[in-house]
Amino acid sequence: MRNDRALFRDTALAVVLAAGSLALFVFYDAAAWLAQQGQPTDGVRSPDLLGGLLVVLTAAPVAVRRRWPMGALVASAVPDTLINTLGYSVGLTSVAGLVLLYSVAARRGLAVALGSLLFSLLAYMTGAMFSSFTSFTWADHLVVVILLSGAWGFGRAIRLRRAYYEELKDRAARLERAREADTRAARAEERSRIARELHDVIAHHVSVMTVQAAAARKVLTADPELADEALSAIEHIGRKAMAEMRDIVGVLRAGSPAELGPQPGMSALPALVEQMREAGLVTRLTVEGDAIPVPAGIDLAAYRLVQEGLTNSLRHAGPGAEAVVTVRHEPRELDVRVEDDGRGAAGVSARAGHGLVGIRERVALYGGILSIGPRPGGGFEVRARFPLKDGR
C-alpha cells in the first residue's frame, strides 16, 4: 500500500513536469526570440512533434524514480541531450534531471551517487558542446553545475538523515528489548525471592506443626495433658507462622510499615533451636570464635540455612536422631553447619526439595560455598561458608 502511494505521487509529479515542459516548449519559440534579439538562428529549431515527444520522454522516467533511480536518470538524460543537440528550446526539461539526480543521491550508496553526478555533468557537457545556442556564457554553465551539485548534495543529506533516524530507531528497539529482558529477569528474581521466603516460613512451621499433631494424636487418649501441650504448641507455632506471613506480605506491598520490620538473624538461633527441641528433635547449638557483625543479607541467609537444615532433620532424620548446629566466626569467613546422625543416605532423595534450592540461591547470592549431602559416618549435613570482606 505504501509503495502504491509512492508510485502514484511520482507518476503525478512526472505528469506535472511533462505538462509544464510541453506547454513552455510549445508556446516559447526559441528561433523567433533569438531573431528579435538580433542573434543568429542557424540550427535552432521551432517546436514540432519530435521535439514535443522528446520533452515528454525526458519527464516520464520521474514516475519510477524511487524504484529505479539510476536507470530513470539515464533514460531521462538521453532525450534531454538530444533536445540540446538538435537545437530545441530546453524549457523545464532540465528540472526532471535535477529531480532524478536527487533521487539517486538520496536512495543509493556513495559510489552510485558519485557516478550519477559525474554522468549528469558529462551529459550536460555533451549537450552544451553540440548545442546550437551560442548565447550561453561561462556563468550560465557555472549556474547549471551549481544546480546539479546542489541537487546531489541535498539528496545525500536526506540519505544521511534517514540513516541517522533508522539508527536511532534501531537503537531504541534494542534498548526496548534490553529493558524488557531486564524486566523479565527482575520479575523472575522477585518470584524466586518470594518463593524462598514463603517456603522458609511455611515449610518450617508446617513441618513442626505436623510433628506436634502426630504426637498429640498418639497420646490423645493415653495422656490428655501431654496432648494438650502439643496442641498448645501447634497453636503457638500457627500464630507465629501467620505473623511472619503478614510480614512477608507487608514487604511485598509498597509503602507498608512492615517493610521496616526486622528480619530474623543468627541472634534468633537459640529460639529456633529451642523450638525444634519442643518439636521432638534433639538439637544442640555451638558457636565458635568471636562473634562479629555481619551484613544483614548474610545474617538472614545463615538463619534460613539453619532453619531449613533443622526442618529437614526433623522430617527425615527419624526417631532418636540428634541435630547439631555449628556457627564458626572467622576473620574473613562465616561457617554455618547443620548436621544430624539420622538415616544418612537413605533420606537424601527425599531431602532434595525446594527449600534446599532456595538455600543454594541464597548462598550463591553472597558468593558463598554450599555443600549438601550425607555424612561419611551416617546422617546428613548442610554447610555453607560465606566470605566476609575486610574482616566484617
Q: Where in the chain is the domain with CATH 3.30.565.10?
A: 266-392
Higher pLDDT, 386 or 259: 386
DSSP code of residue 259: G
Instruction: With cut-offs at 50, 70 and 90, classify the pLDDT of residue 252.
Output: low
pLDDT of 113 higher than 50: yes
Joined grid coordinates for residue 175: 534498548
Looking at residue 78, its pLDDT comes to 86
User: Any residues with CB less than 8 A from the CB of 209 and at least 6 apart, and which?
Assistant: 234, 237, 238, 241
Instruction: With cut-offs at 50, 70 and 90, classify the pLDDT of residue 324.
Output: very high
Architecture of domain 266-392 in this structure: 2-Layer Sandwich (3.30)
Joined grid coordinates for residue 142: 557555472
User: Any residues with CB less than 8 A from the CB of 22 and at least 6 apart, and which?
Assistant: 52, 55, 56
Q: Which of 272, 280, 363, 357 is nearest to 315 (CA)?
A: 280
CA geometry: angle 269, 273, 274, nearest 5 deg: 120
- What mean pLDDT do residues 369-380 have? 88
Looking at residue 132, its pLDDT comes to 58
Q: Which of 18, 34, 132 is nearest to 76 (CA)?
A: 18
Higher pLDDT, 194 or 307: 307
DSSP code of residue 68: S
Q: Which helix (H) or strand (E) holds 337?
A: strand 333-340
What pLDDT, in 10s, does the model give residues 185-194? Answer: 777 776 776 6
pLDDT of 94 higher than 80: no
Joined grid coordinates for residue 168: 536511532
pLDDT of 329 higher than 80: yes
pLDDT of 261 higher than 60: no
Instruction: With cut-offs at 50, 70 and 90, classify the pLDDT of residue 338.
Output: very high
Q: Of the spans 2-11, 84-93, 278-287, which averages the highest pLDDT? A: 278-287
What pLDDT, in 10s, does the model give residues 220-251? Answer: 777 777 777 777 777 777 777 777 676 666 65
What pLDDT, in 10s, does the model give residues 128-160? Answer: 776 655 556 677 778 888 888 998 999 999 999
Higher pLDDT, 256 or 53: 53
